[in-house]
Amino acid sequence: MRNVSIPSRTSCNVKGDSGSIGIGAMIVFIALILVAAVASTVIIKSVENLQQKGEDTSNDTRLSLSKKAILTSAYILGDSDCEAELFQHSGFGGWSATYPVGSYAGNDFLDPDNDGVNEAVSDDATTIKIDAGCEVILYDEDDFSGWSARLSGGDHSLASINANALPKNCGGGGCNDQISSLKVLGFEMQLHWTLAAGSDEVTAGEVSWTVTCVSEPFAGYDGDTIVSSNPYGSTLLDGTNTAGLDAKIVDSEIIEHGMYVKTDIALKICYPEEGEKMQLTIHIDGGATTYYTLSFRGLDVGTNVLFVS
């Protein structure tokens, strides 16, 4: 009979040790798979976010392109109806002088109506009345030099003007008995515009305008919707509304491509000087904002100041 060799427990334990090594490797492998899965989820989520942002941007771009106003001309209408009245004493007493829109220095300040009789006296004014919605710049010297103070509409005491002026100056104190020249600001224009080709219809209340100016030592802007814009709001070029009636356009009216609109605007902060440039923007809510340069090469009524490069 042949002898048969039977494996001992020791040799079996060696095999068991090999099995233990395999399980460890599997655990590491599974961990790597989990890490990869998490990373994949993060990447997918990031891609989805980028895709969503891209879609949002695309939607915004499409929306802005689908609602866009085009300015065709910007005409000067001339000075507005603003006035300021300067008084000698507190309580609006003593001598008084009335100044329509314009610049007044030297003899023009003393005799603003040019009737040969001086209505004002330099360095002697105490109070001033300014029409609502208008702006006045007061100057220390008789040639628009020295300190200056800018006031809006209302009744003002020059003794306390420093607290209300923009900027706060008047030489560091009140302006009583110091005024020798002034400018009354107020300017009217008419904008002609239409919707760009391919634009969706818009409601009139969605459209607004802004004019910005930089005029040392002051800077500012005027703006309004085309409906409430002073002095006459908006109509189609023939003077009717979108229904063909002899009336101004109201907020709810629909403006479509092919309609040409005229909008009267009043500049009460930005008063142009000859040779000056200002920026005009036309904005449509939920649509595009378009930018234009107004170049005031001259200030004659009827001048088209839309700058075309």
Residues 285 and 213 in one domain: yes
Is residue 304 a part of any domain in this protein? no
| Count of beta carbons in the 10 Å neighbourhood of residue 149 | 25
Is residue 151 a part of any domain in this protein? yes
In whole angstroms, what is the distance from residue 185 CA to residue 175 CA? 20
Residues 172 and 208 in one domain: no
Contact partners, residue 128, CB within 8 Å, separation at least 6: 84, 85, 86, 87, 136, 138, 151, 155, 156, 158
Residues 35 and 174 in one domain: no
Task: Say if residues 254 and 202 touch (Cβ distance below 8 Å).
Answer: yes
Q: Which domain holds residue 252?
A: 69-79+186-295
pLDDT for res 294:
96
Residues 53 and 124 in one domain: no
Where is the domain boundary, 153, 185, 217? 185
Residues 214 and 282 in one domain: yes
Residues 205 and 121 in one domain: no
Total domains in the chain come to 3
DSSP-assigned letter for residue 65: H
Is residue 302 a part of any domain in this protein? no
Cα dihedral sign for 55, 57, 60, 62?
negative
pLDDT for res 94:
96
Where is the domain boundary, 122, 151, 185? 185
What CA dihedral angle connects 288, 71, 229 and 103, to 10 degrees? 120
Residues 75 and 206 in one domain: yes
pLDDT for res 170:
65
Is residue 307 a part of any domain in this protein? no
Is residue 303 a part of any domain in this protein? no
In whole angstroms, what is the distance from residue 80 CA to residue 100 CA? 9
Is residue 19 a part of any domain in this protein? yes
pLDDT for res 56:
56
pLDDT for res 15:
45
pLDDT for res 78:
87
CATH code of the domain in which 122 resides: 2.60.20.10
Instruction: Give the mean pLDDT per block of 10 residues along the chain (309 residues).
Output: 47 46 70 68 65 55 74 93 93 96 94 95 94 86 85 86 54 77 91 95 97 75 88 89 92 96 90 90 96 93 88
Is residue 202 a part of any domain in this protein? yes
What CA dihedral angle connects 248, 251, 257 and 259, to 10 degrees? 0
250 Rama sector, left if φ>0, alpha if ψ -120 to 50, beta otherwise: beta
Task: Say if residues 63 and 286 touch (Cβ distance below 8 Å).
Answer: yes
- At 97, list the tokens: 């002088």
Task: Say if residues 234 and 194 touch (Cβ distance below 8 Å).
Answer: no
CATH code of the domain in which 254 resides: 2.60.40
Residues 46 and 73 in one domain: no
Residues 73 and 35 in one domain: no
DSSP-assigned letter for residue 197: T
Residues 164 and 111 in one domain: yes
Q: What share of the chain is helix, strand, coil (3-state, %, to 5)?
A: 25, 35, 40
Task: Say if residues 241 and 167 touch (Cβ distance below 8 Å).
Answer: no
